[in-house]
A = this chain, B = another copy of it.
Amino acid sequence: MQIQFADQKQEFNKRPTKIGRRSLSRSISQSSTDSYSSAASYTDSSDDETSPRDKQQKNSKGSSDFCVKNIKQAEFGRREIEIAEQEMPALMALRKRAQGEKPLAGAKIVGCTHITAQTAVLMETLGALGAQCRWAACNIYSTLNEVAAALAESGFPVFAWKGESEDDFWWCIDRCVNVEGWQPNMILDDGGDLTHWIYKKYPNMFKKIKGIVEESVTGVHRLYQLSKAGKLCVPAMNVNDSVTKQKFDNLYCCRESILDGLKRTTDMMFGGKQVVVCGYGEVGKGCCAALKAMGSIVYVTEIDPICALQACMDGFRLVKLNEVIRQVDIVITCTGNKNVVTREHLDRMKNSCIVCNMGHSNTEIDVASLRTPELTWERVRSQVDHVIWPDGKRIVLLAEGRLLNLSCSTVPTFVLSITATTQALALIELYNAPEGRYKQDVYLLPKKMDEYVASLHLPTFDAHLTELTDEQAKYLGLNKNGPFKPNYYRY
């Protein structure tokens, strides 16, 4: 286990990257800059000095089993939650359907995720389904203080605030787990920090834990490593790779956020611009489709011949980056790879070329190579740097090579709704599964539940599903209620 924790420390130091995880909500960027600025600044300034850990706070029911920035912000947070509820109909439907049965009755869930209005809707849904919850933040910056306050006010033991120190971070997690007379039997994790804390500090707890639900790429990777090493001692559900989540997080979401991110940062016009998109996976496909539709001329680079052939059939010239680097107006990376855009490429770009990253992390553009004395950096706006060559050439670097769609755009609530619903269903599945169905291994969400998540979101579009007749179901050899496709189906 010691090695695991060492890994984790290292991970923590990379945290600025981790902010880039794909599950931040619109409210994060919004509330800090915009709608509640007056309220926020009032309360923030008055409280700035004192650490939440040193404050004595009680909610209106007298409880003090929480630790948030300022319980008085609860009302603002409640409004945010109510707005989010309107855009998360699937969770609201779950609440209704489960009103009688309470499929999570008896569940004691400890969670560690971003604390946003959408998470709050998830938590309150879990509560409505019968679960008890305790919650910490999975990121030191992403907590919405107002929302945390609203949750604390309505009785959820929440331990999180914006701007935690590393010590605060682990303290908060510990406060969720290390409780007199309460022991979790389910884990909902985003990044794996909670899981690892329990592994390290309270390994005995796993005896009572029925399962782990993990959302992030990083956390899933850790679980597979544990499993490989034979150290995974409860079933775990990888919800990151469910079909619905993947398509929405990548293809559909990026198709919109590439435009949004570029507009908000540069106010550029897309029509007639030459763009090279590195990588033609789901993210690349979304970016290319959007820019083509807006009148850009798009080139694609790929390493995989199958994706390359798809790019051709979709109408994009497949090139090596070198072939077009001198002529393009925009370079977008979405490969998941490292050093896709090198200093050499950057040297050859034309004046005013925009460079940004939509991929997995901040490794795709070799930003470090631009930190040399002969280049001048000029911050022209938040998230926008001009890097200036000695001859006056400027490169417009967005978000310092971090994820454009998270740094400079927002994730629509609808996408977060898909994720949250998937998490809720995974918890229900693991909690209610007959003993022995799930072993000490990492599982994908059963296809039927993936389909169920999708079906819960159809009413948003007033979409009417067709039902198989008995005769048709028999002809196809399918159950009328699904699952409808073999596991290898590619959608």
Contact = CB atoms under 8 A, between A and B. Distances in A.
Interface of A: 26, 30, 34-35, 83, 86-87, 241, 243-244, 246-248, 252-253, 255-256, 259-260, 263-264, 267-274, 282, 289-290, 292-297, 301-321, 323, 327, 336-340, 351-352, 363, 380-382, 409-410, 412-415, 450-452, 454-455, 457-458, 460-469, 471-472, 475-476, 482, 484-485, 487-488, 490-491
A480 to B, nearest CB: 9
A337 B295 contact: no
A491 to B, nearest CB: 6
A102 to B, nearest CB: 25
Contacts of A415: 269
A452 B34 contact: no
A317 to B, nearest CB: 6
Query: Which 8 pairs of residues, A with B, have the shortest CB-CB distance?
Result: A293-B293, A318-B463, A305-B455, A272-B312, A305-B454, A269-B412, A271-B313, A304-B484
23 contacts: A26-B267, A243-B490, A244-B306, A246-B490, A256-B270, A256-B294, A272-B463, A274-B461, A282-B490, A295-B314, A295-B315, A296-B315, A297-B315, A303-B467, A304-B482, A306-B484, A308-B455, A309-B457, A309-B458, A310-B491, A312-B458, A318-B458, A339-B469
A309 to B, nearest CB: 5
Given A86-B352, A267-B412, A323-B464, 7 more contacts: A297-B316, A303-B468, A306-B484, A309-B457, A312-B463, A337-B475, A339-B471
Given A305-B451, A454-B306, A455-B305, A312 B461 contact: yes
Given A86-B351, A338-B471, A466-B321, A310 B488 contact: no
Contact of A465 (B252, B263, B308, B454): B308
Contacts of A302: 465-466
Nearest to A241: B488
A196 B126 CA distance: 57
A318 B454 CA distance: 13
Nearest to A261: B263
Contacts of A267: 26, 30, 410, 412-413
Contact of A294 (B26, B87, B290): B290
A410 B415 CA distance: 27
Contacts of A337: 468, 472, 475-476
Residue among A302, A304, A306, A319 with the highest chain B CB neighbour number at 10 A: A306
Contacts of A314: 271, 295
Contacts of A491: 306-307, 310, 490
Nearest to A342: B469
A256 B263 contact: yes
A414 B380 contact: no
Nearest to A476: B337
A267 B33 CA distance: 14
Contacts of A308: 454-455, 458, 463, 465
A489 to B, nearest CB: 8
A315 B271 contact: yes
Nearest to A289: B293
A255 B290 CA distance: 12
Contacts of A315: 271-272, 292, 294-297
Contact of A462 (B274, B309, B339, B461): B274
Contacts of A339: 469, 471-472
A422 B308 CA distance: 17
A56 to B, nearest CB: 33
Nearest to A248: B313
Contact of A293 (B294, B452, B464): B294
B305 A461 contact: no
Residue among A270, A305, A314, A321 with the highest chain B CB neighbour number at 10 A: A305
Contacts of A269: 252-253, 256, 412, 414-415
A303 B451 CA distance: 11
Contacts of A304: 451, 482, 484-485
Nearest to A350: B462
Nearest to A467: B303
A476 B318 contact: no
Contacts of A294: 255-256, 290, 293, 315
